[in-house]
Structure 1
């Protein structure tokens, strides 16, 4: 994972299979995740390494569309999604762990600048606090949405 990362956890009262089914259902993401305005599949069917899509979200008052792809898959255990935008590589790792009456879902999001300019580093420091809070809020909502959908199955 990149060195600038945020980790959140959510206990879900559903089996890892039910959580996995929601997490990997790209075609329903825009209805399952309240933060996703639209999702357009670019390549691949289902959910497998190499599957690509464009996801549009509203963040900090602006719509942003990012192309994302599945980088790793361990069914019902772990998946890694990647994106590259505006000079940074983004990695999101989801880990599912059976726990008591359900599943603990861990979401780790990281960003790593692929530029070493002084200006880029300065901008990352200036905006990182604001962006971090907005990203944490979005991640927490995604986890709540995933939990609600999995628990309703």
Structure 2
């Protein structure tokens, strides 16, 4: 599948946007498809935080274990998941722009098993739409809080 990039302009302060994407408790409030979050570590924020996210994927529930591997406050957060033969590496960055904040998500998918190497490229369009939907939800959430 390689790399997917989604960018949204958000009319809200950079700090609010970052707080929304970097704290899964806030992110799960912003994204309606996320149905449940279960922390797998004592810490609930920052590098080393692991959690299981359950979300609605076209009428079916799907759970994924994710880990925060990088976090620079009010700049970027990297979240990684190793699921079904693919490492999903997502980096959210925030930059102050005139009128608000530019939020960018770059997701890199590296398949290491045979079937995902075949099917992941076929899913790229679906994944981009799902990521766009999440980013639109974050935009609406942040702008409603501003």
Change (3 A) 1:69 1:127: closer
Q: Unpaired segments of 5 or more residues in structure 2?
A: none
- Kept in 1, the 8 Å contact 2:2–2:121? The answer is no
Alignment of 1:70-109 (within 5 A): 70-109=68-107
Find the structure with the greater CA-based Rg. 1
1:112-123 map, 5 Å: 112-115=110-113, 120=114
Q: CA deviation at 1:125?
A: 3.0
TM-score normalised by length of structure 1: 0.86
Gaps of at least 5 residues in structure 1 are: none
**Inter-partner Cα distance in structure 2 for 1:128 and 1:60:** 19
Q: How high is the TM-score relative to the length of structure 2?
A: 0.89
The alignment's C-alpha RMSD in Å is: 1.8
Number of paired residues?
Answer: 145
Distance 2:112 2:24 in 1: 28
Pick closer, same or farther for the CA change 1:126–1:68 going to 2, 3 Å.
closer
Query: 1:61 deviation in Å?
Result: 4.4
